[in-house]
Amino acid sequence: MDIRLKLPLAFAAVLVLTLLAGAGGLWQAQRSMTVFEVDVQGRVADERAADDMESHFKTQVQEWKNVLLRGSDAALLDKHWAAFQREEKQVDEIARALRRRLEVASDQALIDAFLAAHRKMAEAYRSGLEKFKASGMESSVGDLAVRGIDREPS
């Protein structure tokens, strides 16, 4: 084979290999971006939902404290108890939505345990509210009825 033919063929072969390597690199970069979009951003969204749930949970507990502190006024009792129930519902909705999105069984089990503890806590708070009312709005009675109940879901 003549050098006039070998040189252009070698150049063409190197060019084709370079183009294939570049295309392979672009394909790999696209796959990495897809993994980032789906997996990483999905986990970040789950983490944000968990933070949002925690924020509503803390607000719910704070509303209970407001019930005890300000509950001697019937209007404030109704206001703070309604806020407590709104936050409770919000926590439950966020937890259930997060549970549906999670794919890892151990993560789902954590949400299931939280939901069970949250339901138990809800029952205790309702019982505590009745004891609080029965005691003539004595905050220490309501507090004693639910002391430590928020630790497990926390």
- pLDDT tens digits, 90-112: 999 999 999 999 989 999 999 99
Give me the domain span that covers residue 68: 46-146
Number of domains in the chain: 1
Written as six digits, the tokens of 11 are 């150049």
Q: What six digits make up the tokens of 32?
A: 């990495």
Portion of the chain with pLDDT greater than 70, in percent: 100
Position 135 in a domain = yes
- Mean pLDDT over residues 70-90, rounded? 96
Query: Is residue 103 in some structural domain?
Result: yes
CA distances to 39, 68, 152 from 110, rounded to whole Å, are: 20, 30, 12
The pLDDT value recorded for residue 32 is: 87
Assigned domain for 100 exists = yes
The pLDDT of residue 13 is 94
Residue 32 in domain: no
Chain centre distance of CA 9: 59
pLDDT in tens, 25-67: 999 999 988 888 778 888 888 999 999 999 999 999 999 999 9
Q: Is residue 9 in a domain?
A: no
Give the contacts of 87 (CB within 8 A, at least 6 positions apart).
Answer: 56, 57, 59, 60, 63
The whole-number average pLDDT for the span 133-150 is: 93
Question: Terminus-to-terminus CA distance in the chain, angstroms?
Answer: 79
pLDDT at 1 over 80: no
Global pTM value: 0.77
pLDDT value at position 56? Answer: 97
Q: Is residue 2 domain-resident?
A: no
Note whether residue 99 is domain-resident. yes
What is the pLDDT, as a whole number, of residue 132?
95
Contacts of 111 (CB under 8 A, 6+ apart): 95, 98, 99, 102
In-domain check, residue 151: no
